Amino acid sequence: MSRHVAETAHRLIPSPGGRIHLVEQGTGPLVLLVHGFPESWYSWRHQLPVLAAAGYRAVAIDVRGYGRSSKPTATDAYRMLDLVEDNVAVVHALGEESAVVIGHDWGATIAANSALLRPEVFRAVGLLSVPYTPRGGPRPSELFARMGGDEEFYVSYFQEPGRAEAEMEPDVRGWLAGFYAALSADTMPAPGAPDPHFVGRKGGTLRDRFPVGRQPAWLSDEELDVYAGEFERTGMTGALARYRNMDRDWEDLADFDGAPITQPSLFIGGGLDASTTWLADAIKAYPVTLPGLVDSHLLDDCGHWIQQERAAEVNRLLTDWLAALPV
Which uninterrupted H or E stretch holds 58?
strand 57-61
pLDDT of residue 201: 83
Distance CA 121, CA 119 (A): 5
For 283-292, which contacts have Cβ atoms below 8 Å and span 24 or more sequence positions?
A: 283/131, 286/131, 286/132, 288/260, 289/132, 289/133, 289/134, 289/260, 289/261, 290/132, 290/260, 290/261, 290/265, 291/260, 291/262, 292/124, 292/261, 292/262, 292/263, 292/264, 292/265
Mark whether 92 is an active-site residue. no
Q: From the candidates 82, 105, 249, 273, which is the catalytic residue?
A: 105
> Any alpha helices (H) in 94-161, and if so which ranges?
106-117, 140-145, 154-157
Nearest Cα to Cα of residue 119 among 89, 92, 88:
88
Instruction: Evaluate whether 300 touches 313 at the Cβ level (below 8 Å).
Output: no
Sign, CA dihedral 21-23-27-33, equals negative
- The 8-class DSSP code of residue 102 comes to E
Distance CA 99, CA 87 (A): 10
Beta pairing partners, 45: none
Mark whether 105 is an active-site residue. yes
What residue ranges define each of the domains in the chain, with the CATH number in brackets?
Answer: 9-324 (3.40.50.1820)
Q: How are beta strands 99-104 and 57-61 bridged, if at all?
A: unpaired
Q: Which residues of the chain carry a pLDDT beneath 70?
A: 1-5
Distance CA 25, CA 186 (A): 31
pLDDT of residue 149: 81
Buried b (16+ CB within 10 A) or exposed e, 66-77: bbbbbbbeebeb
Q: Is 0.85 surpassed by the pTM of this model?
A: yes
pLDDT of residue 84: 98
Nearest Cα to Cα of residue 43 among 239, 242, 272:
239
Q: From the candidates 21, 104, 197, 304, which is the catalytic residue?
A: 304
Indicate the average pLDDT of the chain. 95
- Hey, what amino acid is at 206? L
Determine the 3-state secondary structure of 198 from DSSP: strand
pLDDT of residue 3: 53
- Hey, what amino acid is at 236? M
**Could you tell me which residues come within 8 angstroms of residue 107 by beta carbon, excluding any fewer than 6 positions away?**
33, 34, 35, 36, 63, 128
